[in-house]
């Protein structure tokens, strides 16, 4: 690239006054790659350090400011053989990482305290059945208190904070019974120690926190991992734009560095990276990735263009919009806000369990207390038994029951090439019974391909490929890709708006508009066979043919849709493309319910209608116009090449050309939900056994410890089943 490149937006200050930049890098997977990158970058004068992070496929480079141009570092990476993409770590990912570190420290503190207290507790338990003196027991209890009180107050903070937030909003979540159980156990143990009692529950309180923190940490780690992958993918897709820095001077900058009012130049064959208004030039725009419409639209000065659309024929100058200015985007944004409201009605399984669980537990404890008073026990004994009921019912297994399944199942999804945004997506995947597909870019591949290669003389197709090498037109790129041509025709010239012309051994060759190739009549017949295709003609002397170029279905689209229908899902197609193209795709997929020409609001209306029928819809879509529908659907997925807004709204993203991940996602989601419910029942069963013992006043700290760890381990082992291959 010849123009100046400006990557300064990605540079951040580092320690000791150095500058640093984070790069997402494709294809690092071994020690040799790491060494090549780190040594290669360090050899660059001015670079003070480069560090590869293999876990999240990133490189951090530091250099002396002023001595190195960030663009040179990218060139250097290219020379080493890796394609690097700069990015900035989002605020969300940053706070997520801090929160995760805090949980890990809490976990370490709780683990340390649990181990040491257990050491003392086991001595007491053993002593209680042999010959421990009351003084030694008190000493051990006081030592336990010394460790447990500060440790539990520190490590319990995440739960206390969350319980406090819930109570302030007059709601109950799982953290309310947890906090109550822990605090009461600690308080009671201190009082019991003061009374020289035999039993103290410091070990139960701390062990409970330890197990729950494991669940909390797993949940958080999963979220951060998916977010890191999403940031990398966004960086790999990040586009650059050619910006006018003065009247005449242009410079390639990342799209992230553009501001409203900037002028950018878009040449034929380039994807437009911004929303804006055309101020100069005239061209045809392929908006299929944005609106689903496969027919190109003509634009000229004054027309609006959108990020993600492809400039086909002419060079245009575009003035960048501010975010709220774009009419389509503003409409989409308004619909999105509305859609988010309907989504929030869904209640996560864990919260539903908590709503049932917390009142039952507290009521049981209260009834136990009253029961023992009535039965004639002193208030002190009654209170202690009531508190042991609270301790034994503290949702230790319940706290692990769902996060453990989420972590294991999202690992299984990851192997099936699907990334999900949060754990509760699994539950919603399991509930879906209707699948609505967008057509363009979702059922079909995002790139155009040659549809009628078999119907055309092979020699002509090969010639078309060679001629196409001379053109920058996107349709030409599709022909090149289909033929694998590598040898351009010498002397070929491109006439903008018409095609490529050349003379081979005295015979004239032409690739371009059918009218200019005197093939308008044949073009009509081909158009009828492929209603959604763009046509391009090849003529060589007297021989000629019309090639149909259009969006081919994803390689496994037919099998996947058939498999979905066989599995009992209702499948439909909701597309923004024109009706003829939609029914063509629907016919080849065997989908009876389909609709074309839908605007974003129409798609939502369709989803609402399905919801009114009691259907839970999974939406699979990629375009800007799908974003509101993705947000409104019960659950949604996007292919990885979807527009940015669609990906942000979707619950998950699948990678690669195949559509099979959709099927895998549903299957893994169903199994995950089944195991979650099994786990909840296991937790209930545990309570059914342990609670009567506690109510009877027979629970000792030893029984509490065994019951808690036993049920937690059982639930975790059961969760591991959700990771088996789909």
Active site residues: 438
Contact 540, 517 (CB under 8 A): no
Which letter does DSSP use for residue 634 in this model? S
Of these, 14, 143, 191, 684, which contacts other proteins (CB under 8 A)?
143
Q: What is the DSSP letter of 571?
A: E
With binding defined as CB under 8 A, does residue 56 bind other proteins?
yes
How far apart, in whole angstroms, are the C-alpha atoms of residue 145 and residue 200? 9
Torsion angle, alpha carbons of 424, 425, 426, 431, to 10: 100
Single out the residue of 20, 50, 52, 174 in contact with other proteins (rule: CB under 8 A): 52
Q: Which residue in 147, 451, 586, 646 binds other proteins (CB under 8 A)?
A: 147
As a whole number of angstroms, the distance between CA 543 and CA 562 comes to: 41
**Binding residues among 153-182 for other proteins as defined by CB under 8 A:** none
Stretch that binds other proteins, among 50-58, 510-518, 546-554, 617-625 (CB under 8 A): 50-58
CB 74 within 8 A of CB 86: yes
| Rounded-to-integer distance, Cα 554 and Cα 622, Å | 14
> Closest Cα partner for 192 from 151, 134, 147?
134
Tell me whether residue 31 or residue 725 sits nearer to other proteins (CB atom): 31
Calpha distance 210→396 (Å, rounded): 9
Number of shown-chain residues binding other proteins (CB under 8 A): 24
What is the H or E stretch that residue 176 is in?
helix 175-194
414 sits near other proteins (criterion: CB under 8 A) = no
User: Which H/E stretch holds residue 506?
Assistant: none
Structure tokens at 243: 């910006």
As a whole number of angstroms, the distance between CA 225 and CA 231 comes to 10
Please give the C-alpha separations between residue 201 and each of 112, 176, 204, 305, in angstroms, as whole numbers.
17, 19, 5, 67
Among 4, 26, 27, 30, binds other proteins (CB under 8 A): 30
CB of 56 to other proteins, least distance (A): 8
Nearer to other proteins, 109 or 183 (CB): 109
Q: What does the alpha-carbon distance between residue 319 and residue 644 come to, in Å, rounded to a whole number?
A: 20
d(CA 403, CA 219): 5
Task: Please identify, among the stretches 48-56, 190-198, 420-428, 616-624, the one whose residues bind other proteins according to the rule CB under 8 A.
Answer: 48-56
Q: Which is nearer to other proteins, 116 or 288 (CB)?
A: 116
Indicate which single residue of 9, 34, 234, 726 sits in contact with other proteins (rule: CB under 8 A): 34
Give me the phi and psi of 201, to 5 degrees please. Answer: -110, 30
Q: Angle at CA 220, nearest 5°, toward 219 and 226?
A: 95
Interaction of residue 53 with other proteins, rule CB under 8 A: yes
The two tokens of residue 296 are: 């190109």
C-alpha to C-alpha distances, 686 to 71, 424, 505, nearest whole angstrom:
61, 24, 87
Q: With contact defined as beta carbons under 8 Å apart, do 618 and 637 qualify? A: yes
Nearer to other proteins, 216 or 673 (CB): 216
Span from 133-141, 309-317, 446-454, 531-539 in contact with other proteins (CB under 8 A): 133-141
CA distance linking residue 286 with residue 279, whole number of Å: 18
Which residue of 4, 43, 54, 366 would you call a contact of other proteins, by CB under 8 A?
A: 54
Name the minimum Å distance from CB 124 to other proteins: 13
- Alpha-carbon span 366 to 392, nearest angstrom: 14
Candidate ranges 139-147, 376-384, 471-479, 556-564; the one touching other proteins (CB under 8 A):
139-147
Extract the runs of DSSP E, i.e. beta strands, from 554-598. Answer: 570-574, 593-595
User: Which residue shows structure tokens 């995760």?
Assistant: 100
CB-wise, 137 or 603, nearer to other proteins? 137
116 or 560: whose CB is closer to other proteins? 116
> Is the separation of the CB atoms in 392 and 694 below 8 Å?
yes
Shortest Å distance, C-beta 133 to other proteins: 8
Q: Which residues from 66-125 bind other proteins, rule CB under 8 A? A: 101, 104-105, 108-109, 112, 115-116, 119-120
**Which residue bears the tokens 């013992």?**
693
Residue spans of beta strands (DSSP E) within 245-303: 250-254, 263-266, 276-280, 282-286, 297-300
Q: Which region among 47-55, 165-173, 179-187, 347-355 touches other proteins (by CB under 8 A)? A: 47-55
In 3-state terms, what secondary structure has residue 533? coil
Applying CB under 8 A, the span of 132-140, 376-384, 544-552, 714-722 interacting with other proteins comes to: 132-140
Give the max Cα distance, the chain: 115
In whole angstroms, how close is the CB of 412 to other proteins at the nearest point? 19
Least separation in angstroms between residue 344's CB and other proteins is 34
Helical packing angle, 557-566 and 660-695, nearest 10°: 40
Taking CB under 8 A as the criterion, the residue among 55, 129, 375, 525 binding other proteins is 55
- By CB under 8 A, residue 139 contacts other proteins: yes
Residue 406 to residue 419: CA distance in whole angstroms: 12
Least distance between other proteins and beta carbon 31 (Å): 4
**Secondary structure E strands in 309-356:** 310-311, 316-320
Q: Does 149 bind other proteins (CB under 8 A)?
A: no
Which of 35, 165, 338, 724 touches other proteins by CB under 8 A? 35
SS3 465: helix
Stretch that binds other proteins, among 52-60, 244-252, 282-290, 454-462 (CB under 8 A): 52-60
HEC string of 471-495 equals CCCHHHHHHHHHHCCCCCCCCCEEE
Residue 527 binding other proteins, by CB under 8 A: no
Told to check if 627 binds other proteins by CB under 8 A, we report no
Query: Of the candidates 8, 95, 136, 322, which one interacts with other proteins according to CB under 8 A?
Result: 136
Q: Smallest Cα–Cα separation from 631: which of 607, 655, 654, 610?
A: 607
| Parallel, antiparallel or unpaired: strands 240-244 and 250-254 | antiparallel
**Shortest separation between residue 126's beta carbon and other proteins, angstroms:** 14
Is 444 within 8 Å of 554 (Cβ atoms)? yes
Q: Which helix (H) or strand (E) holds 292?
A: none
**Footprint on this chain of other proteins (rule: CB under 8 A):** 30-31, 34-35, 52-56, 101, 104-105, 108-109, 112, 115-116, 119-120, 133, 136, 139, 143, 147
């Amino acid at each position: 690239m010849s123009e100046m490149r400006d990557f300064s937006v990605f540079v951040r200050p580092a320690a000791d006054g150095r500058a640093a930049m984070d790069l997402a890098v494709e294809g690092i997977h071994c020690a040799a790659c790491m060494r090549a990158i780190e040594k290669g970058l360090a050899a660059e004068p001015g670079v003070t350090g480069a560090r590869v992070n293999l876990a999240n496929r990133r490189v951090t480079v530091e250099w002396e400011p002023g001595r190195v141009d960030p663009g040179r570092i990218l060139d250097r990476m290219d020379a080493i053989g890796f394609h690097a993409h700069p990015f900035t770590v989002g605020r969300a990912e940053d706070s997520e990482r801090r929160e995760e570190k805090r949980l890990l420290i809490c976990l370490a503190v709780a683990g340390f305290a649990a181990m040491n207290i257990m050491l003392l507790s086991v001595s007491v338990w053993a002593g209680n059945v042999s010959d421990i003196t009351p003084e030694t027991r008190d000493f051990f209890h006081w030592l336990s208190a010394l460790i447990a009180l500060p440790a539990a107050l520190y490590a319990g903070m995440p739960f206390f904070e969350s319980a406090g937030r819930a109570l302030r909003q007059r709601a109950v979540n799982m953290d309310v019974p947890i906090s109550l159980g822990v605090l009461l156990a600690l308080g009671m143990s201190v009082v019991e120690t003061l009374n020289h009692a035999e039993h103290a529950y410091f070990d139960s309180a701390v062990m409970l926190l330890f197990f729950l923190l494991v669940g909390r940490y797993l949940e958080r780690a999963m979220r951060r991992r998916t977010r890191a992958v999403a940031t990398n993918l966004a960086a790999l897709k990040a586009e650059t734009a050619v910006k006018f820095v003065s009247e005449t001077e242009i410079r390639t900058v990342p799209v992230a560095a553009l501001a409203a009012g900037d002028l950018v130049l878009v040449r034929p064959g380039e994807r437009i990276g911004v929303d804006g208004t055309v101020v100069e030039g005239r061209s045809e725009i392929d908006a299929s990735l944005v609106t689903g419409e496969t027919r190109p639209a003509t634009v000229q000065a004054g027309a609006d263009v959108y990020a993600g659309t492809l400039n086909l024929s002419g060079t245009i100058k575009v003035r960048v919009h501010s975010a709220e200015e774009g009419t389509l985007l503003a409409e989409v944004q308004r619909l999105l806000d509305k859609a988010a409201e309907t989504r929030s009605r869904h209640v996560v399984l864990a919260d539903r369990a908590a709503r049932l669980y917390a009142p039952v537990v507290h009521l049981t404890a209260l009834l136990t207390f009253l029961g023992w008073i009535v039965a004639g026990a002193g208030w002190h004994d009654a209170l202690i038994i009531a508190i042991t009921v609270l301790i034994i019912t503290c949702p230790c297994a319940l706290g692990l029951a769902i996060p453990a399944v989420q972590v294991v199942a999202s690992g299984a999804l990851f192997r099936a090439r699907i990334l999900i945004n949060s754990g509760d997506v699994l539950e919603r995947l399991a509930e879906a019974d209707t699948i609505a597909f967008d057509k363009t870019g979702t059922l079909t591949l995002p790139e155009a391909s040659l549809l009628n290669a078999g119907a055309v003389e092979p020699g002509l197709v090969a010639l078309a490929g060679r001629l196409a090498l001379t053109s920058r037109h996107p349709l030409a790129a599709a022909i090149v890709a289909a033929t694998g041509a590598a040898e351009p025709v010498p002397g070929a010239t491109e006439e903008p708006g018409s095609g490529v012309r050349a003379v081979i051994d005295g015979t004239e060759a032409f690739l371009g508009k059918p009218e200019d190739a005197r093939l308008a009549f044949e073009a009509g017949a081909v158009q009828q066979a492929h209603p959604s295709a763009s046509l391009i003609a090849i003529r060589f002397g007297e021989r000629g043919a019309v090639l149909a170029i259009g969006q081919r279905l994803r390689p496994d689209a037919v099998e996947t849709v058939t498999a979905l229908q066989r599995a009992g899902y209702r499948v439909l197609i909701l597309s923004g493309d024109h009706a003829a193209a939609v029914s063509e795709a629907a016919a080849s997929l065997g989908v009876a319910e389909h609709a074309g020409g839908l605007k974003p609001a129409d798609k939502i209306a369709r989803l609402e209608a399905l919801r009114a029928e009691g259907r839970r819809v999974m939406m699979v879509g990629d375009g800007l116009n799908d974003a509101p529908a993705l947000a409104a659907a019960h659950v949604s997925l996007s292919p990885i090449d979807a527009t940015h807004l669609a990906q942000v709204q979707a619950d998950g993203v699948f990678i690669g050309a195949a559509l099979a991940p959709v099927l895998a996602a549903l299957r893994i989601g169903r199994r995950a939900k089944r195991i979650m419910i099994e786990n909840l029942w296991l937790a209930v069963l545990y309570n059914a056994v342990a609670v009567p013992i506690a109510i009877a006043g027979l629970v000792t700290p030893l029984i509490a410890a065994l019951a808690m760890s036993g049920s937690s381990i059982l639930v975790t082992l059961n969760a591991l089943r959700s990771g088996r291959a789909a």
